[in-house]
Structure 1
Amino acid sequence: MKSGVIITLVFLFCITTAANAQILDRVLNRTKEKTKSKTEQKTDNTIDKGLDKVEKGIENIFKKKEKKKDKKSSNESSGRNNTTSSDDVAFEQYKGSSFVPGKNVLFFEDFSTAKLSPGSGNWHVYEYDPSEDIEKPNVGTIPAAGGNWLKMPRKGFAFPNSFKNLPEQFTVEFDMYADPESMNEMEGGFRTNFTTRNDREEYSIHWDTEPAVCIDVHPHGSDEMVNMMVTTEYNSNLNREDMVLFENTFKSGWNPGEVNRISIYRNGRHIILYINGKEIINLPNALTKKGQYNLIFSTNLWGDGIYVSNIRVAGNIPNASQDIKDTGKFVTNAIYFDVNSSHIKPESWATLNNTAQAIKASSGTILIVGHTDSDGADDANLKLSKNRADSVKNILVKEFGIDASRLVTDGKGETQPLTSNNTASGKAQNRRVEFIKQ
């Protein structure tokens, strides 16, 4: 019987084409049918486990091929020459959102150059109980979007080595993808932790005792359900109910198989969390203990497949009306565009709304000026910056009713940086739109 199993497994591992996959199904069915007798139950279990691993391996082969194809397509559609403007922005989920990103970029990461290693690396990533059956933390691609993504450990934590010391008021935003085929409603999801722990490499995902608040976003899988939980640090003198500040399962609110936008606002003790622009959690007294808080992301999954990218931490909530009144100019890097494109992302709605209300409250003409980072050719960046300014104008006219005759546009490309383009955070600061009263 053992030799038969080995021959079967060898045969199955040789199958790599779609046509042979159909043969594989028939072989699997026949093999399982022949091994159901009670006298051979132990052997049956061994065979089934082996066949399950083979099926999983072959499934992963085809998944990887599909991901490579998706990556090629996304790269081809987001080149520097792709400067086509589009006014077709799906703002529906974000309309009416009260979340406004901070204007001073403190940290930004799109994982285009990130290195996952302690000390000199960009990111410290630690994994508990690594397994050969689970993909290790890495920077790669996802089928739902282009760009680079950090694949979080199934159980573990990650933090940027170069960034710590969060201010009293700030916003945190990031894109999150949860593989709908491998996520599970058991245990936890993706956690954003604000902790007073200074030695972050000693953080415990289970029993950390340093003052902290943990915000857990836990999609269930292929449906729209998402569990939300906020807890304080572990304290052996408290029961679970005392440590849980918020817990609820929402039947809708998560877009399975798609990139979802998580946004968090903190002002002193107050924390508000949004998913795709919708307010989900509002806790006026979440941070009850004083201290210098730092940022740690963590996971404690029953399943697997959490990916994050475009992490942006910023301070100082903008007031466009006040800035235009006081200085005659409003500058923002929180109008987000698709990579190397002038197409505006829907999560820009709140910033655009803030800007539109400021323009309506002022008089005269407003000059809209686009700026880029230094990646790519000078002439392509100049064209891109002008197209982005045009896209902003079109949205302000179409979505917010601004008189088109009051808006003129220009672009400066990469010629007027605010800071160095040597870091991802610097580039994020330089990618901006200025509104100047004429």
Structure 2
Amino acid sequence: MKFNLSFFKSALTLAAIFLLASNANAQFLKKLGKAAERAAERTVERRVEQETAEKTDQALDSIFEPGAKGSNKRQNPVPNTSPSPDSQDHQTDQDSKSKQTNGSPPSSSNDPESLSVYSKFDFVPGDAPLFVDDFSHEFVGDFPSRWNTNAGGDLVNIEGHENKWLKLLPGSRSFYIPDITNLPDEFTLEFDVVGSGIDKKTSSHSYLGITVVDNNTFEKGQNWGKVEYSFCQFIERGFVIENNISGKRGFYNETQADVRSTVKQKHRVSIAVNGQRFRLWLNESKYVDVPRLLPQGIKMQGIKFMLRGIDTDKESIYISNIKIAKGGVDLRRKLLADGKISTNGILFDSGSANIQPQSMGIIRQIYQVLQQDDSINLKIVGHTDGDGDDGANMALSEKRAEAVKDALVNIYNVSSKKLSVAGKGESEPVGDNNTPDGKALNRRVEFIKQ
């Protein structure tokens, strides 16, 4: 009855507003004629719709969020957008400064308890970086130089989070496009997301979308596949999955999943594209696995980010630590066939040997190889990029190899006698240490059959 009475009061209030507006403007409307009358009526309708939406939100909150009465003020943490003391200096690379440049969920250590949460995580990142951007060489307040947009947005610092972050602006035709074309058939995409002001009032239409499309312009394209995930908190929304083939919709579907607690925190989005297949993980959990989302035989040319349904006065969505890499294929078969694999998908905290939990997908595959063939012994070799002191990098690379060995032993119960480690530091580069993409290539771990 409480809800019905509240709704009834709301209806009376709206009726009063409409009557007052109508009486006050009656003479005015007669003079203005039909065109002006229609315009005034539209203004009244908009006010009525706004009042109705506010009352409906309150009613829904009383249903979906019991006990959520009291103050309606949002606790919206305002990010620190002012430059930090050293923001005018380019941040150095992951191996030379104690900052996380690849992003991770809150827990990031070699503690077996922490890593074991990801022990069944089956995402395997690509092993040939195509586009890597943590905005470390950009300036706060600028739009990043390796991106394009038709919506605006700038880089900010966020209190409590490392690196710089790109603030996305919502819009039905607003796109954020990294500078990459001619996507391979097999590739992976990873990035971190932080939201501020996300609470029980966040719209049920709030979604962040990722589209793989046949162009890298602001045109919608004829062939594409898209997945969006929701930031709504008062009901379980989940994901929207949609594709377009030769200019016509292939399918549209909404799948429910409770990701509310995940999206309120900093989270990692991991996407694997293998031909037509599209898979998506939030942190360690896989939520989307569609075998034929992308059209067959069509070359995909770009990736587009899009945000919708966010109240820009109260809510903000930021992304950072973006990595697009060729590959993401099954490393188990490659190791068995070639006797050796090299991957930069095993990530570490900056300047340390702490494994970032999302790296467990690769370590899990190494464990599966050892489990299948008990006769195999492996040598684990760590490599760093060229930033920092040579001796420090040599020691760091060996510690990282040792950390991978410890994860195999402590998480998957692999015998330590089957594993040996070595560190090569920066002595064997495979990429240009003067570029972010080249540095990402050089930060790698090798597994060699003995």
Match of 1:172 among 186, 189, 193: 189
State the alpha-carbon separation in 2 of the partners of residues 364 and 287 from structure 1. 38
Corresponding position: 1:123 with 2:134? no
Match of 1:300 among 284, 288, 308: 308
Match of 2:162 among 127, 146, 155: 146
Contact 2:79 2:159 in 1 (8 A): no
SS of 2:184's equivalent?
Answer: coil
Equivalence map 1:146-225=2 (5 Å): 146-155=162-171, 156-161=174-179, 163-181=180-198, 184-198=202-216, 200=217, 202-203=218-219, 208=220, 210-221=222-233, 225=236
Whichever residue aligns with residue 169 of structure 1, its letter is E
State the alpha-carbon separation in 1 of the partners of residues 310 and 259 from structure 2. 21
Alpha-carbon distance change, 64 to 173 in structure 1, aligned in 2, over 3 angstroms: closer
Contact 2:170 2:306 in 1 (8 A): no
Contact 1:386 1:410 in 2 (8 A): yes
TM-score (norm 2): 0.69
Corresponding position: 1:404 with 2:416? yes
Alpha-carbon distance change, 250 to 370 in structure 1, aligned in 2, over 3 angstroms: same
Whichever residue aligns with residue 256 of structure 2, its letter is T
Match in the other structure for 1:111: 135
Corresponding position: 1:264 with 2:271? yes
Corresponding position: 1:390 with 2:371? no
Contact 2:206 2:230 in 1 (8 A): yes
Whichever residue aligns with residue 227 of structure 2, its letter is I
Alpha-carbon distance change, 340 to 328 in structure 1, aligned in 2, over 3 angstroms: same
Alpha-carbon distance change, 90 to 180 in structure 1, aligned in 2, over 3 angstroms: farther
Contact 1:126 1:153 in 2 (8 A): no
Instruction: Give per-residue Cα distances to partners, 1:70-91, cap 9 Å, x unaligned.
Output: x99xx9xx99476998434623
Match in the other structure for 2:349: 338
Moved more, 99-108 or 414-423: 99-108
Q: Percent of aligned positions with the same letter in both sequences?
A: 28
Match in the other structure for 1:347: 358
Whichever residue aligns with residue 376 of structure 1, its letter is G
Corresponding position: 1:429 with 2:441? yes
Instruction: Give per-residue Cα distances to partners, 1:364-416, cap 9 Å, x unaligned.
Output: 54221111112222222222212111111111110011111222222111121
Deviation at 1:436, TM superposition (A): 1.8
State the alpha-carbon separation in 2 of the partners of residues 65 and 171 from structure 1. 31
Match of 1:245 among 245, 248, 252: 252
Contact 2:126 2:187 in 1 (8 A): yes
RMSD: 3.8
Match in the other structure for 1:275: 282
State the alpha-carbon separation in 2 of the partners of residues 234 and 437 from structure 1. 44
Whichever residue aligns with residue 130 of structure 2, its letter is L
Alpha-carbon distance change, 209 to 333 in structure 1, aligned in 2, over 3 angstroms: closer
Alpha-carbon distance change, 418 to 321 in structure 1, aligned in 2, over 3 angstroms: same
Corresponding position: 1:375 with 2:387? yes
State the alpha-carbon separation in 1 of the partners of residues 207 and 365 from structure 2. 33
Contact 1:185 1:218 in 2 (8 A): no
Equivalence map 1:409-420=2 (5 Å): 409-420=421-432
Instruction: Give per-residue Cα distances to partners, 1:147-191, cap 9 Å, x unaligned.
Output: 222222233221122x11111222222222222447823433221
Corresponding position: 1:137 with 2:153? yes
Deviation at 1:347, TM superposition (A): 0.8
Instruction: Give per-residue Cα distances to partners, 1:89-127, cap 9 Å, x unaligned.
Output: 623543323322222222222221247989x93111321
Contact 1:191 1:214 in 2 (8 A): yes
Deviation at 1:299, TM superposition (A): 1.5
Instruction: Give per-residue Cα distances to partners, 1:211-233, cap 9 Å, x unaligned.
Output: 22221122225x79553112235
State the alpha-carbon separation in 2 of the partners of residues 228 and 152 from structure 1. 19
State the alpha-carbon separation in 2 of the partners of residues 227 and 338 from structure 1. 30
State the alpha-carbon separation in 2 of the partners of residues 353 and 224 from structure 1. 35
Alpha-carbon distance change, 437 to 427 in structure 1, aligned in 2, over 3 angstroms: same
Unaligned stretches of 5+ residues in structure 1: 1-37, 43-58, 128-135
Match in the other structure for 1:101: 125
State the alpha-carbon separation in 2 of the partners of residues 89 and 164 from structure 1. 40
Contact 1:89 1:345 in 2 (8 A): no
SS of 1:326's equivalent?
Answer: helix
Whichever residue aligns with residue 308 of structure 1, its letter is I
SS of 1:94's equivalent?
Answer: coil
Equivalence map 1:15-54=2 (5 Å): none
Deviation at 1:324, TM superposition (A): 3.3
Corresponding position: 1:315 with 2:326? yes
Alpha-carbon distance change, 63 to 422 in structure 1, aligned in 2, over 3 angstroms: same
Whichever residue aligns with residue 363 of structure 2, its letter is L
Report how many aligned residue pairs link the two structures: 360
Contact 2:189 2:270 in 1 (8 A): yes
SS of 1:261's equivalent?
Answer: strand
Match in the other structure for 1:47: none
State the alpha-carbon separation in 2 of the partners of residues 95 and 409 from structure 1. 21
